[in-house]
A and B are shown apart, each in its own frame.
Chain A
């Protein structure tokens, strides 16, 4: 674990060094650019709040992905589960408007988690029932989910007027409050940290978690020990799907306050990135998600202040993933 943490640190360092070289190549000072990212991500309470909000979906979805990967289930369907979760939250809030914020938010987030779990369950059913590789199923379902959201917004759930597809504004009772005054952040980050803590306990302190780890280490050993692989797959997929759906619901209720086409674009793949960077350890996904969230929050101020294109962030993310994969490889 210790050496793995060190190798992952090297992976991040190497990615950042490559990014520095790219910045220098375009005629800017890398240190200046990184300073601008840091100030944009944590230079003021408001900046920190933006970082925390950006971190939330990656943390929620990433912890679930980490759990699946631990069990050897390569679930790359978070993207679709987030989209369907957002659809569930928006539908619940619009179809059943209630006065009480507690009920409205509770119902919408429950709908989000259930919708996400159902979408992941569909993937599990096709994977287990028809012996289709889970990566192909989850990948293909991502596109179908995204188009389903667009179809819903072009039809019953849509509101005209914008240049893109969106739903009407949700009833005010369903909006997630921003209780930390100076930060301007919604409480989703707390849900995220609680979820990753809970998953970590589940993984290391429960019978189910032990079974997941055995299955991840060796399918043969798990089968020989009498563990039911289908039951484990169902459990991990439904949990991860519920968390990803919740991430989508929180994004809709806390940030946009309506459903917007493509609101989940790229989230699922970044959830995979933070799961890897956190060495598939749910608690370690917290700093990993924070790293990616802060990078994204800071990238715009880097572009504004120093003139370095903000797409540098995707370069850092992609390289970090590639290096982390190489660092985690079995030797």
Chain B
């Protein structure tokens, strides 16, 4: 029971970041910058909540913080047509530096930020169900948001005109252009939206789980989210399943440590990356990456 709760807890920030990454990659832009977007979101959420005393302001700031990194990536990779992956990496280095710097900008020492983590919102009646209630219907708000976002993104990508345009931009931008669309603008907006959603994933860490911001607190979760959307083959439901599997592997690793079992937690931590690599290698050419991903627009 605890194990399942820990799995969901670990999967939540990954899922939000992966949903953002799907927006970006389905539009044809590799989402290597997820790490920096999450970190900026976590930072902005913690500082804004601390300064204003309002969680809502903090969540707004997380959206904005992630979007700023998204805007940077979008400008350099879409507007200037630089290599998308290297741009993402650069944005990650920048985000790690700038959040750490700004935290100490006032007097050279980091302020001690202590926030009350967001409280659980039990769903009336449903939360009282045996077994399922505490597992599914008694979570903090951002966890519900991640689950809802997963459903919403599936619907939006598959059933709306805008979603179709976004997918077409990732598959065949020339066709979008020929039919009167503006693929560069679509990509720009998709990457900025990716930043905002991934920023929310960062807010899960700082507002909902830890209650403060520390340097580099995402600790590679952005890359893990990238791996999960690959394993989930660029669909929200698939990414959610992958996030849960990765979360379970991580939770299992923590169990091993507390019980002092001989199996190695490092090998377990390797699992997500090995699985992602195996999925890519196993599928080979049939991996169905968005066809125009990584290509710059002429």
Contact = CB atoms under 8 A, between A and B. Distances in A.
Contacts of B104: 26, 309, 311
A269 interface: yes
Interface string B134-145: 000000000000
Given A133-B289, A140-B227, A151-B266, A311 B101 contact: yes
B61 to A, nearest CB: 18
A316 B97 CA distance: 8
A219 B149 CA distance: 40
Interface residues of A, number: 51
B97 A136 contact: no
B182 interface: no
A326 B87 CA distance: 9
B14 to A, nearest CB: 14
B90 to A, nearest CB: 4
Nearest to B100: A311
A170 interface: no
A318 B90 contact: yes
Contacts of A329: 76, 80-82
A218 B90 CA distance: 25
B266 A147 contact: yes
Given A311-B100, A318-B98, A325 B108 contact: no
Contact of B90 (A22, A144, A150, A273): A273
Interface in A295-314: 303, 307-309, 311-314
B32 A321 contact: no
A155 interface: yes
Nearest to B94: A318
Interface stretch (A124-132, A178-186, A209-217, A240-248): A124-132
A135 interface: yes
Contacts of A330: 81, 296
B98 A26 contact: no
A307 B108 contact: yes
Given A25-B105, A325-B83, A132 B93 contact: no
Contacts of B276: 136, 140
B281 interface: yes
A139 interface: yes
Given A132-B281, A136-B280, A322-B90, A144 B273 contact: yes
Contacts of A322: 72, 76, 87, 90-91, 94
Contact of B93 (A27, A143, A144, A318): A318
Contacts of B287: 132
Given A140-B227, A311-B101, A322-B76, A133 B82 contact: no
B85 interface: yes
26 contacts: A22-B101, A133-B294, A139-B32, A140-B276, A143-B220, A147-B266, A155-B264, A269-B92, A269-B93, A272-B86, A273-B90, A276-B86, A307-B107, A311-B96, A313-B97, A314-B96, A314-B98, A315-B94, A315-B101, A318-B93, A318-B94, A322-B87, A322-B91, A325-B82, A325-B83, A325-B90
Given A315-B97, A329-B82, 14 more contacts: A26-B104, A132-B277, A137-B277, A144-B273, A147-B273, A269-B89, A273-B93, A308-B108, A314-B96, A318-B90, A321-B94, A322-B76, A325-B86, A325-B90
The 8 tightest CB contacts between A and B, nearest first, are: A318-B94, A314-B97, A321-B90, A311-B100, A325-B82, A315-B97, A318-B93, A26-B105
